[in-house]
Amino acid sequence: MAVLFTSDTHFGDHRVLNIGGRPFASVAEMDEALLANWNAAVAPGDEVWHLGDVARRAVDVPALLERLHGTKHLIRGNNDPPGTVTAAGWANVADYAEITVEGMSLVLCHYPFRSWNGQGRRAVNLHGHSHGRLKPMLRQYDVGVDARGFWPVTLATLVAH
């Protein structure tokens, strides 16, 4: 079982095509590419932490979650309305989490931190929200699709780069 991370998919959201400059001709093309990439990277038995901003419309989230491989955890983002949070298909939902993966302490939040719990003890902060626009900090990684080639990413891939 692998553990992967992603954020800021914004399924069904035309605004990210215009504002974010995503390289897709349409929302439908973007959504299908995101779904295909997710399912190519994530096996059904894998675990995925989505660090927020899932979809434009909460009503679309249950069907999306059914199509996406893996056990899915949500760390709520600023564009996740109550319907997204309560959608069937999430293993759990939180605003913040501290987990250990491959012996590494991780602090997960939609928002990037300037400092975080365990930072001085080599803990890593994974975040989204900034769409790849922030200057990198030591042991802090933007897992948003814009920063990761529109793919979910493993911790090993993050720290290798």
- Token pair listed for 94: 């939180």
Chain-centroid distance of CA 93 in Å reads 13
66, 78 contact by CB (below 8 A): no
What are 38-74's pLDDT values in tens digits?
Answer: 999 999 999 999 999 999 999 999 999 999 999 999 9
Q: Spell out the long-range contacts of 129-132 with Cβ–Cβ below 8 A and sequence spacing 24 or more.
A: 129/7, 129/8, 129/52, 129/53, 129/77, 129/78, 131/8, 131/16, 131/20
Task: Provide the pLDDT for residue 161.
Answer: 74
Q: What is the mean pLDDT of residues 138-142?
A: 97
- Token pair listed for 12: 């069904």
Q: Tell me the pLDDT of the chain averaged across its residues.
A: 96
- Model-level pTM greater than 0.85? yes
Q: Spell out the long-range contacts of 120-123 with Cβ–Cβ below 8 A and sequence spacing 24 or more.
A: none
Task: Provide the pLDDT for residue 136.
Answer: 87
Annotated domain spans of the chain: 3-160
**How far, in Å, CA of 120 to CA of 144, rounded?**
24
What are 96-123's pLDDT values in tens digits?
Answer: 999 999 999 999 999 999 999 999 999 9
CATH code given to domain 3-160: 3.60.21.10
Residue 91 clears pLDDT 90, i.e. is over it: yes
**How far, in Å, CA of 101 to CA of 50, rounded?**
15
Judged on CB neighbours under 10 Å (0-12, 13-18, 19+), 80 is buried
What are 16-41's pLDDT values in tens digits?
Answer: 998 778 999 999 999 999 999 999 99
